[in-house]
Amino acid sequence: MEFIKPNTLKELLEIISTITGEKYYFAGGTDINIQIKKDIIRNGKIIFINHIKELNGIKEDENYILIGSTTTFRQIIESKLLNDKLPFFQKSLNNFASPLIQSQATIGGNIANGSPTADVVPLLLVLDGKLELISNSMNRTINLKDFFTGYKKFILKPDEIIKSIFIPQNAENGFDTFYEKIGSRKALSIAKIAVAGLKKVVNNEINEIKIAVGSLNEYPRRLDLIEDYLLNKDLKDIDFKKIRIILKEEITPITDLRSDKDYRFEVCLNLIKKFLLKPDSG
Amino acid sequence: MKVNFNLNNKKVSIDVDPMKRLLDILREDFGLLGTKEGCGEGECGACTVLMDGKPVTSCLVNACHLEGKTILTVEAIAKEPIGKLLIDCFDETNAVQCGFCFPGFLVSSYYFLISDGEQNLDKIKEALSGNICRCTGYQKIFESVMLACKKKQLYSHRFSLIHPVR
Ligand SMILES: Cc1cc2nc3c(=O)[nH]c(=O)nc-3n(C[C@H](O)[C@H](O)[C@H](O)COP(=O)(O)OP(=O)(O)OC[C@H]3O[C@@H](n4cnc5c(N)ncnc54)[C@H](O)[C@@H]3O)c2cc1C
Ligand code: FES
Ligand code: FES
């Protein structure tokens, strides 16, 4: 393995534009360290990015809240700006990993590690999060939901990194919010099923609806078909048998050491029910 | 790779492999054996230290993370007034059995006392949720931290001068 420590963002982008072959960006290292220990990563180049100032911090402009990719979960949980503007997002991450891991783990690492269980992704999906991707030759902004293409596969070009995450200023405004993660215990547990949802209900009718799930497919995703079915429906007219049928098409849970696929399916369905029937908090 | 950082209130500088774990740097390069290795994977908290004032698992922090950072280990914390208070409370409630987890619990509890310190069981459980104990069943550990919060409030005049509460 070879290690590279660029001094600035510019130098980082220049270096990665010339590297061919396997490479990893070492941010908090909470995933990479363990992958090295377990021999999942054996060779390639490791590029340190944690010290690069342009990649860290939380700020806002007129339209967005911007979170640098190496911002840690502790910075997110302690941010005053997020407490003001995105309290649901912030509160939902309170139980991320453990207080110790929160000080080290970064938001960019959580997304780009590509695990189907990554906690931050379903939340960002319902908040219509975007990613700013940057390379030596270009800079583009994409919707997070277009980032993933398969299990641990992304549209990221070989010379591109995630620079920051954008969340629209009013992403939570006026919505009834829901986030539940099911794991084997409270602290330090990897999600078996996670459901995030936002809904706006006026006179019992669903005016806006966003639902995203984690740990149920190759990557976390929005449930477009369920959303289509629910939009403009009266809460009384929701047919949960119908939802069960649509959900069968939309998620492909797996059986692994942590859970069986039928269990995952039923729990997901129950969480969606709980979200839809939850009284409007606003 | 050469790294300069502040260790237990002293400037230090070492030349090490960029991936060397802070845990090993502390134990091997500085002879600070209070920080323990349990799982080596971020799960147990036996290796907890404060980095720039925040608790981290030193088994997942590498030399490349250290430049310019401030590290406080259990050795330094045990000499601080709040550290001493915590040790007394752990003693008083008989919260320690084999003792392997104790340095990590001490660092996490210390962070809780200086950053919040409210005598609130739920908050304490949350603050210690990254630390595992295989012997005690936790109740006595929570009790001792509750007791430390109470004593810290009672004798706040003693602590506030020495360690300003953030
Ligand atoms: C004990 C423990 C508990 C955990 N609990 C949870 C949990 O509850 N929920 C959860 O979701 N995760 C959990 N994790 C996993 C991990 O902590 C998170 O995924 C974390 O956010 C990863 O961030 P990092 O900075 O440490 O990533 P790193 O290990 O530094 O990097 C991870 C991957 O992301 C890539 N990468 C990093 N930054 C960028 C970038 N800017 N652009 C492109 N690629 C990049 C790297 O190449 C690498 O492949 C846990 C891990 C441990 C050890
Ligand atoms: S040894 Fe570091 S958390 Fe267990
Ligand atoms: S006292 Fe033995 S592990 Fe905690």
- Strand pairing class (A2-4; A45-48): parallel
What are the pLDDT digits (tens) for A232-253?
A: 999 999 999 999 999 999 998 8
Tokens representing A10? Answer: 């510019």
User: Do A188 and A259 belong together in one domain?
Assistant: yes
Cβ B110 vs Cβ B77: under 8 Å:
yes
Q: Do B18 and A50 touch (CB under 8 A)?
A: no
* Secondary structure class of A281 (helix, strand, coil): coil
Long-range CB contacts (< 8 A, 24+ apart) of A20-27?
A20/A158, A21/A45, A23/A47, A25/A49, A25/A112, A25/A161, A26/A50, A26/B62, A26/B64, A27/A69, A27/A70, A27/A106, A27/A108, A27/A109
Low-confidence ranges of chain B (pLDDT < 70): 159-166
For the CA atoms of B150, B156, B159, B161, the dihedral, rounded to the nearest 10 degrees, stands at 170
Q: Would residue A269 count as lying in a domain?
A: yes
Residues A245 and A215 in one domain: yes
CA separation for the pair A101, B56 (Å, rounded)? 6
Of A168, A186, A216, which residue sits at a domain end? A168
Query: For residue A185, is it within any domain?
Result: yes
How many CB contacts within 8 angstroms connect chain A with chain B? 74
Verify whether ligand 2 is closer than 6 Å to residue B46 (CB atom). Answer: yes
State mean pLDDT over A160-173. Answer: 97
Contact at CB, B64 and A5, closer than 8 angstroms: yes
Alpha-carbon distance of B127 to A239, in angstroms, equals 42
- Res A282 pLDDT > 70: no
Average pLDDT, chain A: 93
Here the CATH number for the domain that contains residue A161 is 3.30.465.10
Cα A68 to ligand 1 centre (Å) = 14
Q: Indicate whether A144 belongs to any domain.
A: yes
Give me ligand 3 centre to Cα B144, in Å: 14
Query: Within a domain: residue A282?
Result: no
A183 token code pair:
């794991």
Claim to verify: residue A235 and residue A129 sit in the same structural domain? no
Atom of ligand 1 nearest to the CA of B43: 1
Number of domain units in chain A = 2
User: How many Cα atoms within 13 Å fall on the side-chain side of residue A183?
Assistant: 15
Choose among B68, B66, B82: nearest CA to B23.
B66
Whether residue A195 sits in one domain with residue A83:
no
Same domain, A208 and A134: no
| Cα–Cα dist A51/A200, whole Å | 41
Which residues are bridge partners to B71 per DSSP? Answer: B7, B51
- Does residue A150 share a domain with residue A180? no
Q: B96: CA distance to ligand 3 center in Å?
A: 6
**Tens digits of per-residue pLDDT, A170-189?**
999 999 999 999 887 666 66
pLDDT of residue A259: 74
- Following DSSP, what letter does each residue of chain B receive, concatenated? -EEEEEETTEEEEEE--TT-BHHHIIIIIS--TTS--SSSSSSS-TTEEEETTEEEEGGG-BGGG-TT-EEE-HHHHTTSHHHHHHHHHHHHTT--SS-TTHHHHHHHHHHHHHHT----HHHHHHHTTT---SSS-SHHHHHHHHHHHHHHHHTHHHHHHHS---
Q: Indicate whether A118 belongs to any domain.
A: yes
| pLDDT value of residue A187 | 61
Which residues of chain A lie closer than 8 angstroms to B60, CB-CB?
28-30, 33-34, 101, 104
Within-domain flag for A76: yes
Mean pLDDT, range A116-129, rounded to an integer: 96
ipTM score for this prediction: 0.93
Instruction: Using a CB–CB cutoff of 8 Å, tell me whether B81 touches chain A.
Output: no
Examine the pLDDT at A278 and tell me if it is beyond 90: no
Helix axes B139-154, B81-92, angle to 10 degrees: 130
The verdict on A147 and A240 lying in the same domain is no
Domain boundary among A168, A190, A223: A168
A36 with A63, same domain?
Answer: yes
d(CA B86, CA B78): 9
Q: Is the pLDDT of residue A119 over 50?
A: yes
Task: Report the distance separating Cα B103 and Cα B98, nearest Å.
Answer: 12
Domains and CATH numbers, chain B: 2-73 (3.10.20.30), 77-159 (1.10.150.120)
Residue appearing with tokens 């939309």: A250
Residue A261: its pLDDT value, please?
Answer: 84
As beta bridge partners, residue A221 has: A213
- CATH code, domain with A202: 3.30.390.50
Task: Pick the last residue of a domain from A122, A141, A168.
Answer: A168
CB A220 within 8 Å of CB A152: no
Is the pLDDT at A77 greater than 60? The verdict is yes
pLDDT at A107: 98
Which atom of ligand 2 lies at the shortest distance from residue B44's CA? Answer: 4
Q: Residues A249-276: what's their mean pLDDT?
A: 87
- Pick from A244, A149, A72, A89: which is nearest to B65 by CA? A72
Interhelix angle B81-92/B102-115, rounded to 10 degrees, is 120
Q: How many Cα atoms are found within 13 Å in the side-chain-facing hemisphere of A45?
A: 16
In the prediction, which pLDDT does B160 show?
58
Note the pLDDT tens digit of each residue in A211-236.
999 988 889 999 999 999 999 999 99
Distance of CA A138 to the CA centre of its chain: 24
Residues A86 and A27 in one domain: yes
Strand partners, A73: none
Tokens 């797996």 locate to: A254
- Domain of A181 in residue numbering reads as 176-277
pLDDT at A150: 92
Q: What percent of chain A has pLDDT over 70?
A: 96
Helix (H, G, I), strand (E, B) or coil at A234: strand
Helix (H, G, I), strand (E, B) or coil at A80: helix
Looking at the fold, whether A62 and A112 belong to one and the same domain comes out as yes
Task: Supply the residue whose CA is at minimum distance from atom 4 of ligand 3.
Answer: B133
Q: Give the separation between CA A41 and CA A259, rounded to whole angstroms.
A: 26
> Which chain B residues have a beta carbon less than 8 Å from that of A98?
42, 45, 129-130
Looking at the structure, do residues A161 and A181 belong to the same domain, yes or no?
A: no
Q: Given this model, what pLDDT does residue A188 score? A: 66
A148 and A266 assigned to the same domain: no
Provide mean pLDDT across the span A3-12: 95
